[in-house]
Amino acid sequence: MKTRARTYLLIVVLAAGVGAAGCGGQGAEAESSAAKAVRTVPVRTATVETRDLTETLTLTGTLDPRAEVTVVPEISARLERTLKNEGDRVTLGQLVAVLDDGDFKLARDRAKAMLDVAEANRAHTKAEKDRADSLLKTGGITDKDHLAAQVAVQVAEASAAQARTELAIAERQLSRAQITAPISGRISKRMADAGTMVSAGTPLYSIVDDSVFELRSSVASGDFAKVKIGEKVTVTLDALPGYTAEGEVNRIAPQVDARSRSFEIIIRVPGRPQLVSGLFARAEVKVRDVPGSLVVPPAALVRDGADPTRAQTFVIVGGKAERRDVTVGFEVPDAVQVTAGLKAGETVVVDPPSALGPGTQVQVETKSGT
């Protein structure tokens, strides 16, 4: 009985050992497969291509009118009529408002009357001088009386000249009751109503010259040499989808701001009926054409932001990822110029996953073009 029991126990132990060995082999194989799966990272790729590129600068800013003028009265009076409202177009010299001119008409009439008196007095003294000249020849008047007649004429002429000046001033003041547009353009704002008592200098209207708009934009100092006066510019506006306008670089500020390390350029844009001041605009300035550039998709580059000319990318070599330092040039919306570190025809990883590292085995999922 004891021998039979020992034999049975030995069989059980051996069976258990065999089972354990079998399970251990399967576990090692599963572990090996899992490790192999972890080491293979699925990626998307693109090919380094050669393309003709055009370098541009994208500028942003607000459309401002070439000129904006505030219309103010030069005299104090009651505002009798306003003839224009917001949005109305006006031309240089066009009547836009009328002030009460009653007092100024009275002042003009008084100046006219004073001039009439002065002219009559001048005529009288001149006649007296002529008579004195005749009497002097016959000895009927002394030299002193003759001199007095000459002085009287001079005083009368001065008084007449003063009266004419007073009349001119009165007429000028009267004309200022008729308020005209100082420039051609569009009324952007009316700031007073009829019946208001206004003083000299009180704003009545704001007029903008919308025949030409100006787009002011700050540009990094590193691009100072890239922009030239007279360069053609393509302007788009977020508020007007699909609308484009052709502008021109009109002026370049001859100074770089020491704080922002930027300078200002002014682009002129011809006025159009749909354009109004204050619109946000984007301008594309063509800098140069660069034929035969090596390009990769922007998503193929890894940047740290410290140096905009330096980046890294992963190149597929023999089924594995190889990290490569590259030098980049300028960018267009769908491509980045690479000036060093890559060759045409090489395959780079697009949107490299975080698990990707140097020497990692990769599995290409989908190859996309640049």
Long-range contacts (CB closer than 8 Å, 24 or more residues apart) made by 112-120: 112/167, 114/163, 114/166, 114/167, 115/160, 115/163, 115/164, 115/166, 115/167, 117/163, 118/156, 118/159, 118/160, 118/162, 118/163, 118/164, 119/160, 119/163
**CATH 2.40.420.20 corresponds to the domain 42-53+291-367:** yes
Q: What CATH code would you report for 73-99+177-203?
A: 2.40.50.100
Q: Name the segment(s) of the chain with CATH classification 2.40.50.100.
A: 73-99+177-203
- Whether the per-residue pLDDT at 3 is higher than 70: the answer is no
Q: Name the segment(s) of the chain with CATH classification 2.40.30.170.
A: 59-64+209-289
- Whether the per-residue pLDDT at 40 is higher than 70: the answer is yes
The CATH superfamily label for domain 59-64+209-289 reads: Efflux pump adaptor protein, beta barrel domain (2.40.30.170)
Q: Which one is predicted more confidently, 34 or 282? A: 282
pLDDT tens by residue, 267-285 = 999 998 888 889 999 999 8
Architecture of domain 101-176: Orthogonal Bundle (1.10)
Query: What's the pTM value of the predicted model, to 2 decimals?
Result: 0.63
Q: Name the segment(s) of the chain with CATH classification 1.10.287.470.
A: 101-176
Q: Name the segment(s) of the chain with CATH classification 2.40.420.20.
A: 42-53+291-367
pLDDT tens by residue, 62-118 = 999 989 999 999 999 999 999 999 999 999 999 999 999 999 999 999 999 999 999
